[in-house]
Structure 1
Amino acid sequence: MDAPLSAGNARVKEARKLHRRSARSERRCFLADGPKAVEGALDVPGCVVEVFATPRAATEHAALLGAAPVTAPVTLVDDRAMAGLSDSVTPAGLVAVCRHLDVPLADVVGVAVVPPRLPVIAVCADVRDPGNAGTVVRCADAAGASAVVLAGDAVDLHNPKTVRASVGSVFHLPVALERDPAAAVAALRDAGYQVLAADGGGELDLFAAEPLLSRPTAWLFGNEAWGLPSELAALADERITIPMLGAAESLNLATAAAVCLYASTRAMIRA
């Protein structure tokens, strides 16, 4: 067996550059860090370019790596090289170089939804925090939504923190990118989705909105700090507020998304 590559190896150096957004955009590749992310990536045909593994991780995850296709070679690296490739404080020893996952908006609107997925789409407008974006993708996946749209000036889907926060869900459902949130709303409405804005100042609370939720729905979520711009919220069919029954003033973005998405799931399953 070949000796593990060091941090100075040219391939390792090139892969390490993918920590920069500019390099990811130019090469249309990103790093998936950790066993869960690598497993998810290997489940997507043609996604993985190469897997880097420490000798210890290669032994621990032999079954996972043994299932890697010949088009996704596994390369051993030493611990120092892995520390440079991984975005984690304590690297798990597996990092995959993957091809970008984003799809055009047209690929998630007007497309037949195949069960067990439901006609529910989460639209995140100007979401900047990678942890929040990844968690919304994870929540959408868990709730059975058919897609996520990152709209406006959004965080990079392929940021290592976004991928890690999704816990593999970025590989399970399509995520579209759309620079213009208003265009995303228009496209979804044209495709037959009602657009519901999750808005603390909404006129209708989530409990009262239940009769609406059995219809195909695009949920519109805003920025973590300032929420939805008024002009974008005004484009929604309804502005929905989550009731605050205790003393808390609000919920964070990912929690609000989980509550709204599962409300739709519950209504559709019951319908």
Structure 2
Amino acid sequence: MSANTTRPGADPFTERTPRVVAARRLTRRAEREKAGRFLAEGANAVGAALSRGRGFVHELFVTGRAEQAYPELVAAAREAGVRVSPVTDRAAVALSETVTPQGIVAVCDLVDRPLDGLLPTAAAAGPAAAGAPAAEAASPAPVAPAPAAAPSPGAPSPGAPSPDPAEPAAEAASPAPADPAPAAAAAGAAAPAPGAAVAGPAAPAPAARLVAVLVDVADPGNAGTVIRVADAAGADAVILAGDSVDPHNGKCVRASAGSLFHLPLARARDVHAALEACRAAGLRLLGAHGHAETELDSLPLDVPVAWVFGNEAHGLSAEVIASVDEGVRIPIYGRAESLNLATAAAVCLYGSAMALRRSSGG
């Protein structure tokens, strides 16, 4: 703990201090990828980053004024074993990408995870992924063993392994063990009492119901806002596909308002792989674009879905539109030409979120 506490009277780091210079490099994407770390600036982002648990935040740079303004964050950082480094106001400006920095910046691990395994497949998620009632997806009902006659002479001992298919048919046809109690004893386990519940298989991973996929989204503010909306709508994950902006970009981090740290996120250069991962998870792919024939208000939204959003200027490519299950257009009732990406994403994601909650009684 003492290693993380500033020595009394120690001078704060300046913009020329090597640790500050090294952290400043993380404002560039290439350096973030190389180091596997990025900067989270501001009280909101720092608090959310610290909530990820011990070891996620590596260093906290804080001005004297910020330490007085956010003592609980500094205390939480020290409690988590994070190195707390006091800095001058000019050093805070060097680390910041805003006009009026708050004077508190955390060095964090990258938040994205591999696409493979981000979403449970429909098979791995069990019956619930296919829309089966929760009762059907639960463990089997308790079964009481039926009374059985004593085994006949020459029968195989209870609990013995099943005969190998290569063995003679006569051996494979031997009577099965009749009494479950000796079998349990042979395995070193207590026999289940009559009427006791039989343990079922391990609970399957919960099925994904709502995912946002951003394809070639270039503006970090838009990407961060969509991540924030997805988090608010209770989405299971966000995938940034193709040439989408780095979610660790400073503007994206700030626009997400802490949501970047709350929900699973993946990056995938291969758009087709991202879409197929959603399809394998049992999600219906809906592509939002302004020239689709199907309007949002005519579509049933109470099904697990992955909403696919395209580039701010060009929308979804013809190839992506052909790959989704259905294109969807948000109707414009007034005189506005269109909706921007973040607004359209909010309408679509919340439409699905509310319909899913109504259908599940949530």
User: Shorter-chain TM-score category?
Assistant: over 0.9
TM-score (norm 2): 0.72
- Partner in structure 1 of residue 196 of structure 2: none
Deviation at 1:118, TM superposition (A): 6.5
- Partner in structure 2 of residue 215 of structure 1: 303
**3-state DSSP class of the match of 2:274?**
helix
Higher relative contact order (CA 8 A, sep 6+): 1
1:51-107 superposed Cα distances (whole Å, 9 cap, x missing partner): 000011011111122112443121100001000001110010100011100011123
Among candidates 14, 26, 40, match of residue 18 of structure 1: 26
- Partner in structure 2 of residue 234 of structure 1: 322
One-letter amino acid of the counterpart of residue 128, structure 1: A
**Structure 2 CA distance, aligned partners of 1:193 and 1:168?**
26
How many residues are aligned here?
268
- Partner in structure 1 of residue 333 of structure 2: 245
**Structure 2 CA distance, aligned partners of 1:70 and 1:186?**
39
Among candidates 17, 24, 30, match of residue 9 of structure 1: 17
Deviation at 1:137, TM superposition (A): 0.2
- Partner in structure 2 of residue 129 of structure 1: 219
**Structure 1 CA distance, aligned partners of 2:224 and 2:74?**
25
**3-state DSSP class of the match of 2:40?**
strand
One-letter amino acid of the counterpart of residue 69, structure 2: E
- Partner in structure 2 of residue 28 of structure 1: 36
1:119-144 superposed Cα distances (whole Å, 9 cap, x missing partner): 10000000011000000100000111
**Structure 2 CA distance, aligned partners of 1:6 and 1:199?**
49
Deviation at 1:269, TM superposition (A): 1.0
Matches within 5 A, 1:72-87: 72-87=82-97
1:145-172 superposed Cα distances (whole Å, 9 cap, x missing partner): 1110000011011111110110110000
**3-state DSSP class of the match of 2:72?**
helix
Matches within 5 A, 1:70-219: 70-110=80-120, 119-209=209-299, 211=300, 213-219=301-307
Deviation at 1:108, TM superposition (A): 2.4
* 2:210–2:305 Cα contact (<8 Å) kept: yes
One-letter amino acid of the counterpart of residue 214, structure 2: C
- Partner in structure 2 of residue 56 of structure 1: 65
One-letter amino acid of the counterpart of residue 327, structure 2: R
**Structure 2 CA distance, aligned partners of 1:16 and 1:61?**
22
TM-score (norm 1): 0.95
Deviation at 1:256, TM superposition (A): 0.3
**Structure 1 CA distance, aligned partners of 2:67 and 2:344?**
39
Percent identity of paired positions between Structure 1 and Structure 2: 51
**Structure 2 CA distance, aligned partners of 1:129 and 1:159?**
10
Deviation at 1:182, TM superposition (A): 1.4
Unmatched runs of 5 consecutive residues or more in structure 1 = none
Deviation at 1:186, TM superposition (A): 1.3
* 1:50–1:97 Cα contact (<8 Å) kept: yes
RMSD: 1.7
- Partner in structure 1 of residue 76 of structure 2: 67
Task: Give 4+ residue runs of structure 1 displaced > 2 Å after superposition.
Answer: 111-114
Deviation at 1:199, TM superposition (A): 1.1
One-letter amino acid of the counterpart of residue 218, structure 2: R
**Structure 2 CA distance, aligned partners of 1:70 and 1:136?**
30
- Partner in structure 2 of residue 42 of structure 1: 50
One-letter amino acid of the counterpart of residue 107, structure 2: V
Q: Which has the higher strand share?
A: 1
**3-state DSSP class of the match of 1:106?**
coil
Unmatched runs of 5 consecutive residues or more in structure 2 = 1-7, 130-203
Deviation at 1:117, TM superposition (A): 10
One-letter amino acid of the counterpart of residue 52, structure 1: F
One-letter amino acid of the counterpart of residue 241, structure 2: A
Deviation at 1:203, TM superposition (A): 1.6
